[in-house]
Structure 1
Amino acid sequence: MSRLADESSHHMETLGTALNTSNKMAQESSKNAMYINRIFLISVAKIDHIVIKSTAYQHVLNEDSSEPLLDHLNCRFGKWYAGEGKEEFGKTKSFKVLDKPHANLHKKINDNMIYAEESKVYDPGNTQAIIENFESMEASSEEFFTYLERMIEE
Structure 2
Amino acid sequence: MVYQRLFKQDENLNLSTHTTCRLGRWYLAPETQARYGDNRDFQQLNEPHRIVHETAHKALHAAQEKNWSQVLLEINDMESASLDVSALLDNLSH
TM over 0.5: same fold?
yes
1:89 matches 2:36: yes
Deviation at 1:88, TM superposition (A): 2.1
CA distance in 2, matches of 1:63, 1:143: 27
Deviation at 1:104, TM superposition (A): 0.3
Deviation at 1:67, TM superposition (A): 6.2
- Normalising to structure 1: TM-score of the pair? 0.56
CA distance in 2, matches of 1:131, 1:67: 17
1:78 matches 2:19: no
> Paired residue for 2:80, among 111, 122, 139?
139
Letter in 2 for 1:61: F
CA RMSD of aligned residues (A): 1.5
* Max Rg structure: 1
CA distance in 2, matches of 1:93, 1:65: 38
**Does the CA-based 8 Å contact 2:56-2:78 persist in structure 1?**
yes
Structure 2 gap segments, 5+ residues each = none
Structure 1 gap segments, 5+ residues each = 1-54
CA distance in 1, matches of 2:70, 2:52: 15
- Alignment coverage as a number of residue pairs: 93
Deviation at 1:152, TM superposition (A): 2.1
Query: Hey, what does 1:113 align to over in structure 2?
Result: 60
> Paired residue for 1:129, among 66, 70, 82?
70
Relative to total residues, which structure has the larger helix share, 1 or 2? 1
Query: Hey, what does 1:149 align to over in structure 2?
Result: 90
Q: Which contiguous aligned blocks of 4+ residues in structure 1 show a shift greater than 6 angstroms?
A: none
Identity of aligned residues (%): 25
